[in-house]
Amino acid sequence: MISMTEEEKNQNSEDIYKNVRVFQLNDEKAEFEELDLQEGVKLYEILNAKLILYFINPETYRSFIWAGSEASTRMKFIAANKASSIRDRIGPAIKISTVDQNDETLPFKIMVGLEKEETFEEEQTGPAYEGTAEDDKLLKNLTLEKIVLLLEKINLPEGYVREMVIDGSNIYGYLETRKEYLGQIIKERKLYRLKESVPDGPYLAKDSIPRILMSYNRVVLTELIRKLTPEELQRKNEEESRIYELNSGTPFKT
C-alpha cells in the first residue's frame, strides 16, 4: 500500500465521491439516514468519534460499518442489524465489513481516500515484507502449516485470489474452505501438492502475477495471484454476505 500526498488524496477523494454512498446511524430513531454530502467533501473528513457511519460502494461490491471510538455498544449492535437492510436495497451481493476508529483496514482507508490502492504495474523499489522476530521464527524449517500462517500474515490485495504457492522446488495449490465452529462460520486455509498437475518444461502462469516474500535478501516464498473477474467478485461477496447473516451480523472469522 502506498501512502498518499495531499494532492493525491484530493484527486482520489473526488473519484471515490462519485461512487460511494454514506449513511449515518440515528441513535434516537435506531435507523441509518443517508447523508447528502456537499460537492468536494472528502470522505475521511466526515469521520467523527461519536458517530457510526456506513459507507457503500456498489461498483466494488464493498461496504463498511465504521464505528467511532465514542460510539456505544448499543449503537454498534443496532448498526450491525440495520446495515443489511440498507445493503439489500442497493445490492444484495455487496459485502459488509466492520471497522473501528484507530483500527481501520487498508480497504476501508482506500474507500475513504486515506490510502491509494497499489497497482502491480508500478515498479517496486524494494521488498514489501518487514518481518518481526515472531515472523522470523516461522521462516525456519518451513512446514505447510507455517507457510499457511505466513500467507495469513501478508494477506492478499483487495480483489485478488491466490492460485499457487512455490516453496523452493515445491509447488502447491491453495484452497480456502468454510467450517462451522461454536456457532460461527470460520475460514480455513490449506495447501496441497500439485506434483501430478503441473506439466514438465517451461510454465507460463497465464493471467497470474508473481508476488515474492523476501527476508534478509533471500526468497522465502513465491505466490501466484490472480485478479478476480467481476462475476467471481460478485459470487465471492454474495457468499460472504450470506455468512455475515448466518453469523448474526458478525463478519466471519479467519
Tell me: the pLDDT tens digits for 208-236?
888 888 877 788 888 899 988 888 888 87
Q: In whole angstroms, give the CA distance from residue 19 to residue 99.
A: 20
State residue 185's pLDDT score. Answer: 63
Which residue pairs from 233-237 have beta carbons closer than 8 angstroms and sit at least 24 positions apart in sequence?
A: 233/60, 233/61, 233/159, 234/61, 234/93, 235/93, 236/95, 237/61, 237/62, 237/93, 237/94, 237/95
State residue 179's pLDDT score. Answer: 65
Q: Would you place residue 5 in the very low, low, confident or very high pLDDT band (cuts 50, 70, 90)?
A: low
Q: How far is CA 222 from CA 127, 151, 166, in A?
A: 12, 10, 5
State residue 233's pLDDT score. Answer: 84
Lateral strand order in the sheet of 160-167 = 184-193, 170-181, 160-167, 218-227, 209-215
State residue 124's pLDDT score. Answer: 47
Q: In whole angstroms, give the CA distance from residue 54 to residue 21.
A: 8
Least confidently predicted of 53-57, 103-107, 155-159, 207-211 = 155-159
Question: What mean pLDDT, rounded, does the chain reach?
Answer: 77
**Which cell is 115 given?**
490510502
Beta strands in the chain (DSSP E): 21-26, 31-34, 52-57, 62-67, 95-100, 160-167, 170-181, 184-193, 209-215, 218-227
State residue 253's pLDDT score. Answer: 46
Interval 176-197: pLDDT, tens: 776 665 556 666 777 777 766 6
Least confidently predicted of 86-90, 103-107, 154-158 = 154-158
Q: What domains appear along the chain, each with residue ranges and CATH number? A: 6-117 (3.40.20.10), 133-233 (no CATH)
Q: In whole angstroms, give the CA distance from residue 220 to residue 141.
A: 11
Confidence check: pLDDT of 27 > 90? no
State residue 12's pLDDT score. Answer: 47
State residue 186's pLDDT score. Answer: 64
Give the other-Cβ count within 10 Å of 221's Cβ: 21
Confidence check: pLDDT of 167 > 90? no
Confidence check: pLDDT of 65 > 90? yes
Give the other-Cβ count within 10 Å of 112's Cβ: 24
Confidence check: pLDDT of 154 > 60? yes
State residue 55's pLDDT score. Answer: 95
Give pTM, 2 decimals.
0.51
Least confidently predicted of 78-87, 210-219, 244-253 = 244-253
Confidence check: pLDDT of 10 > 90? no
Confidence check: pLDDT of 58 > 50? yes
State residue 70's pLDDT score. Answer: 93
